[in-house]
Amino acid sequence: MDRRFILLSGFVLAVLLIFSARLFYLQIIDEDLKLSAENNVIRRIKDYAPRGHIYDRENRLVVGNQSAYDLMVVPSQIRDLDTAAFCQVFNIEKEELKRKLTRATTYSRLKPSVVIKQMMRSEYVEVQEHIIFFPGFYFQRRLLREYLYEGAPNIAGFIGEVSETFIRNNPGYSRGDFYGVAGIEKSYEQTLRGKDGVRRIVVDVHNREKGRFQEGMYDTLPQPGEHLTTTIDIELQRYAELLMTNKRGGVVAIEPSTGELLIVASSPTYDPSLLVGRHRNQNYFQLFSDSIEKPLFDRALLAEYPPGSPFKIVNALIGLQEGAISPNSHYACGGGFRHGRLFVRCKCGTAAPIPLKTGIYKSCNNYFCQTYKKIVDSYPTAQEGLERWSNYVRSFGMGEFFNNDLPTGRRGNVPDSTYYNRIYNDHRWKAVSTISNGIGQGELLSTPLQLANIAAIVANRGFYYTPHIVSHIGGEPITDPHFTQRKKTMVDSIHFEHVIAGMFEVFQQGTARLAKVEGIDMCGKTGTAENPHGQDHSIFMAFAPKDNPKIAIAVFVENGYWGSRWAAPIASLIMEKFLTGEVQREALEKRMLEGSLEDEYREQAIRLAERRAKKNE
Amino acid sequence: MSNRGGFHIDWPIVVMYFALLLIGWMNIYSATFSEAYTGYFDMNQNHGRQLVFIMGAVVLISVILILDIRLYTLLPWPIFALSILSLVAVLLFGQKISGARSWFTIGSLAIQPGEFAKVAAALALAKYMGTIDFQWKKLRQRFIALGIIALPALVILPQPDLGSAIVFSAFIFVFHREGMSSIWIFLGVTLGVLFVFSLLFNTHILSAILALPFLFLMYRYRKGRWAQWLGVLILVVGFVQSVDFTFNNLLEDRHRNRINIMLGLEHDPQGVGYNIHQAQIAIGSGGLFGKGYLQGTQTKFNFVPEQHTDFIFCTIGEEWGFVGSVLVLVLFASFIVRLLFMAERQKVAMYRIYGYSVASILFFHFTINIAMAMGLFPVVGIPLPFISYGGSSLWAFTILLFIFIKMDAHRKDIW
């Protein structure tokens, strides 16, 4: 053998060895390449889990699911598109179609893009048979929310598509997912959402579907979200919303024995179906930009009003507990409360000294200014007295968040000594400096929810359950001790009967006698709250029946003149309907349903605009 | 035919040849396989056409074996002239396919004269160097021999087809067998390694490191041949320093990109590096035993461009795994070694030289093609003989091989 033959053979052998080593590295050692190969061909497609249903306390379906259809396009598959016919069938402007197609092509010629979002079933059935005439277009099914009632949008809230920022902050989400934006949808997002399934499909180099990966061996089925049973009585809620038509404000009703919310109504309201389907964005923008009516603003949970006269009940209870007054303490009202140059007017119309009960049902300002002054002045300094007083008020659930299962809420405001020390920086303030607190005015602020909770406390004679909106998750009752354990106020229950006697008289001979219902022992307290925006707010707080109460309610009607004009009748109608199932007083009901404060709001808006204009001059 | 020494076909090489054809066709079928399956003889499919090419090859083999052996010793020069003419003609009248003017199209058939030029050059070179008075030491003869190789390479280059032109450097092994000093092969390898190193590392540091042994040798021979080592040192350092310039100024962008990708200096899996990246993914995903025949996902869904031609080895790697690929490599290497062995047993110089040419060309194709698929060599488009799809290359390699088999069959003839 020639040694040169050996040399070339050696080369062949060397190449063989090098190649084998390289193959060993590529095929046995390097795991990344196998992963890349998988990424090349396997696409993970989400099988969206249907969100859980939302029921009311009577198991009526409030929010369910419905199919909607996205019209998709794959630009590379379009053949001889008849634009005119397309626009006619799908009811879309030619310009818009052109824009959508350009955008789709820019994104990808081979991947699908959305042309028309969320066509509802009714639209879909009309056009689906035409789709075969337009190659490149197809429908993709999505699950959307279906609302079975035209109102109560603030309870369930709504869902929306996740944004890029949301995905960054919430790793469990990806593009195209929905999430709860507001209401129960938001606070119970994890429960309602369920778990999306994953389908693995095999695609070729052009991203065309080529079948299921390993016959679906690794696919997971979607787990539907759990159903929620709310504490809301949806019929009652709708009734409250109807009564509040053309009036602004909030209505909250609670079952005192459980803390379950029966009504959380905000007015003006809107149909939640507006936020579903093809025109969602347009509708949302309209609701969002209505800066006068603010329909997206949940007044029942977020509006902070001065509680006004109903707060006198709290002051009476604190006075009784502190021994500052007794049920027999008499004060004579001379048309108001006087202290030096300070004067708080009163329209109770009594001259002789009156006891606590009369003070309540006549809503005497003087009586409760005196009570408040006595509570605060029984301590060495006004600071100490006020601190004590504000602790009492806080134990009624005011000035603090409830931290309940509603996604939003407000603290309201209970002023304490620090607050006044800041305002009066010489610290030389006295009980009379803060006398408005005696009648629920001034710095005090309360949401309708908080006032309804006070009504529940009185109904319970001294305690409350944190108001909450969900009673069962997936059929199982909630067990969170935050909702199932009673919270006591700092006032002993023996004192409550005295104020309840007064609240009972409110319907018999007091400020709400016109809202009285035969056969139901209602207890309530009207309120007329001065406010910086304009006409006084109409407020009412009540519970019924007097013994073993079933419902506690608070009604705020913005700029409703006085308590007995709007709030008291509305509250009594709601309670009547809840307790008897129907309303006998048709005339009153009709007056409330048709009554409108729109003129008042318009004038107020004009006044506001004028004032702003003047300021700008 | 006088049959003075009998007719002895070397069956092992013929069996290996058909084994390679079968492996090739199976993988072409897999690479073009789709659910819209039509049949083995579908002329719209690559595997269908390849089957026809194989049948054509069988006809060619018969013709080559039947023709008188003396024809191959008489006709090299006319064939060579014809080949050069066809190469010039293709430059002028050829069909431009994917950027290169390398094809004549006759009806639906495309013929690549560049593939056949290897046969012509091998025959001509064997004829020339096989003459009694040829001596490598004679400068004039050496240059004529080099010229026979350089001429077709230079005519192919402007098509442009760098890959096919490079293949002609395979003849260096033939020259080496016939008397060229081993220094040149050593030099070629060294320069290649230096070229790669110069691109990978800082040229100044590399120069310094390379200088050390030479400085030692110069010290050692300070009373003798130190000047010789100094000369080598200057050449080496000069080469290293000039690589940058050559690379950045003389090469075209696409070549530069391919080299950079191969060396891992540039990472661009979506752009110019897509091909080589996907090829490695396909091979790497095969694992030890592969995904099974027709089961390769990367193959089936066309992730590797040119998979049925230049990147056919990816299909083998993915579907047959490490075990199958190594077996194919061993088969191919055995095939080449067998050819070398056959060349060595020739008594006629022309036959030996021709045999060496065949083995060298196949070896070169084999090495570059597979190195390219595995990311060891920049992407140059040359086929894997007998396995890649393509009529011209299959027929050209078949002619190349069977002329030698014919010669080998007559090795016992007495002249």
Greater model confidence, A416 or A202: A416
Residue B273 and residue B247: Cα distance in Å, rounded? 18
Read off the DSSP letter of residue B248: I
Q: Torsion angle of alpha carbons A576, A577, A579, A581, nearest 10°?
A: 140
Token reading at A530: 């001065």
- A-facing residues of B in 367-406 (CB < 8 A) are 367, 370-371, 374, 376
Considering the domain boundaries, does residue B220 fall inside one? yes
pLDDT in tens, B299-333: 777 778 788 888 999 999 999 999 999 999 999 99
- Residue A25: closest CA among chain B residues belongs to which residue? B284
Residues B277, B204, single domain; the answer is no
Read off the DSSP letter of residue A593: H
Of the candidates A366, A414, A413, A408, the residue with the CA atom closest to the CA atom of residue A390: A414
Residue A422 and residue A311: Cα distance in Å, rounded? 24
Considering the domain boundaries, does residue B93 fall inside one? yes
CB-CB neighbors (< 8 A) of B287 in chain A: 27-28, 34
pLDDT at B268 over 70: no
**Which numeric CATH code is attached to A66-196?**
3.90.1310
Residues B246, B273, single domain; the answer is no
pLDDT in tens, A161-174: 898 899 889 888 88
At A555 the three-state DSSP class reads strand
The boundaries of the domain holding residue B229 are 181-250
Flag whether residue A1 sits within 8 Å of chain B, measured between CB atoms: yes
**Interface size between A and B, measured as CB pairs under 8 A:** 117
At B379 the three-state DSSP class reads coil
pLDDT at B1 over 50: no
Considering the domain boundaries, does residue B414 fall inside one? no
Give the length of chain A: 617
ipTM of the complex: 0.88
Interchain pair B303, A30: CB under 8 A: no
> Above pLDDT 90, what percent of chain A?
55
pLDDT in tens, A228-248: 999 999 999 999 999 999 999
- Beta strand A54-55 with A228-230: parallel, antiparallel or unpaired? parallel
The 3 state secondary structure assigned to B28-80 is HHHHHCCCCCCCCCCCCCHHHHHHHHHHHHHHHHHHHHHCCCHHHHHCHHHHH
Q: What is the mean pLDDT of residues A598-613?
A: 87
Considering only CB atoms, B284 lies closest to which of A15, A16, A27, namely A27
How many alpha carbons fall within 13 Å on the CB side of residue B325? 35
How many alpha carbons fall within 13 Å on the CB side of residue A11? 19
Domain boundary among B231, B250, B269: B250
pLDDT at B308: 83
Residues B79, B176, single domain; the answer is yes
pLDDT in tens, A18-33: 999 999 998 888 888 8
Flag whether residue B32 sits within 8 Å of chain A, measured between CB atoms: no
pLDDT at B264 over 70: no
Flag whether residue B303 sits within 8 Å of chain A, measured between CB atoms: yes
pLDDT at B115 over 70: yes
Phi, psi of A404 (to 5 degrees): -100, -160
Residue A456: count of CB within 10 angstroms of its CB = 29
Of the candidates A120, A142, A139, A183, the residue with the CA atom closest to the CA atom of residue A50: A142
Shortest Cα–Cα distance, B90 to chain A (Å): 34
Flag whether residue A36 sits within 8 Å of chain B, measured between CB atoms: yes
Least confident range from A424-438, A599-613, B269-283: namely B269-283
Least confident range from A89-93, A452-456, B210-214, B408-412: namely B210-214
Residues B43, B89, single domain; the answer is yes
Non-local CB neighbours of B353 within 8 Å, separated by 6+ positions? B125, B126, B129, B130, B174, B177, B178
| E strand map for B254-379 | none
pLDDT at B415: 57
Domain spans in chain A, listed from the N-terminal domain onward: 66-196, 234-273+295-606
8 Å CB contact between B20 and B386: yes
- Residue B296: closest CA among chain A residues belongs to which residue? A37
pLDDT at A583: 92
Query: In which band, very low, low, confident or very high, does the pLDDT at A606 lie, cut at 50, 70 and 90?
Result: confident
Considering the domain boundaries, does residue B186 fall inside one? yes
Flag whether residue B16 sits within 8 Å of chain A, measured between CB atoms: no
Residues B212, B320, single domain; the answer is no
Considering the domain boundaries, does residue B4 fall inside one? no
Q: What is the mean pLDDT of residues A271-296?
A: 88
pLDDT in tens, A471-501: 999 989 999 999 999 999 999 999 999 999 9
Query: In which band, very low, low, confident or very high, does the pLDDT at A226 lie, cut at 50, 70 and 90?
Result: very high
Domain boundary among B250, B278, B306: B250
pLDDT at A525 over 50: yes
Flag whether residue B1 sits within 8 Å of chain A, measured between CB atoms: no
Residues B36, B114, single domain; the answer is yes
Task: Please report, for residues B202, B204, B378, the alpha-carbon distance to residue B197 in angstroms, rounded to integers and kept in the order given.
Answer: 9, 12, 15
pLDDT in tens, B391-401: 899 999 999 99
Residue A209 and residue A359: Cα distance in Å, rounded? 79
- Residue A22: closest CA among chain B residues belongs to which residue? B374
> Above pLDDT 90, what percent of chain B?
39
pLDDT at B38: 60
Look up tokens 């897509």; give the residue. Answer: B274
pLDDT in tens, B147-201: 999 999 999 988 888 888 888 989 988 988 888 888 888 888 888 888 777 777 7
At A69 the three-state DSSP class reads strand
Considering the domain boundaries, does residue B121 fall inside one? yes
Considering only CB atoms, B317 lies closest to which of A2, A27, A202, namely A27
Token reading at A613: 């204009």
Read off the DSSP letter of residue B250: I
What is the end-to-end Cα distance of chain B in Å, rounded? Answer: 13
pLDDT in tens, A41-66: 777 777 888 999 999 999 999 999 99
8 Å CB contact between A179 and A166: yes
Residues B351, B225, single domain; the answer is no
CB-CB neighbors (< 8 A) of A24 in chain B: 322
Q: What is the mean pLDDT of residues A347-357?
A: 89
Q: What would be the CATH architecture of the domain defined by A234-273+295-606?
A: 3-Layer(aba) Sandwich (3.40)
- Residue B278: closest CA among chain A residues belongs to which residue? A37
Residues B69, B110, single domain; the answer is yes
pLDDT at B246 over 80: no
pLDDT in tens, A287-343: 988 888 899 999 999 999 999 999 999 999 999 999 999 999 999 988 889 888 888
Considering the domain boundaries, does residue B6 fall inside one? no
Considering the domain boundaries, does residue B3 fall inside one? no
Interchain pair A4, B366: CB under 8 A: no
Residue B28 and residue B23: Cα distance in Å, rounded? 9
pLDDT at A462 over 80: yes
Residues B188, B126, single domain; the answer is no
Residues B154, B269, single domain; the answer is yes
A interface mutation test: which of B32, B281, B289 has the most A CBs within 10 A?
A: B281
Token reading at B346: 């020739």
How many alpha carbons fall within 13 Å on the CB side of residue B233? 17
pLDDT at B298: 80
pLDDT at B269: 61
Say how many domains are in chain B.
2
Residue A617: count of CB within 10 angstroms of its CB = 4
Residues B327, B383, single domain; the answer is yes
Considering only CB atoms, A9 lies closest to which of B302, B303, B337, namely B337
- B-facing residues of A in 154-183 (CB < 8 A) are none
At A588 the three-state DSSP class reads helix
pLDDT in tens, B3-43: 566 788 999 999 999 999 999 999 998 888 765 566 677 77
pLDDT at B250: 66
CB-CB neighbors (< 8 A) of A21 in chain B: none
Residues B322, B229, single domain; the answer is no
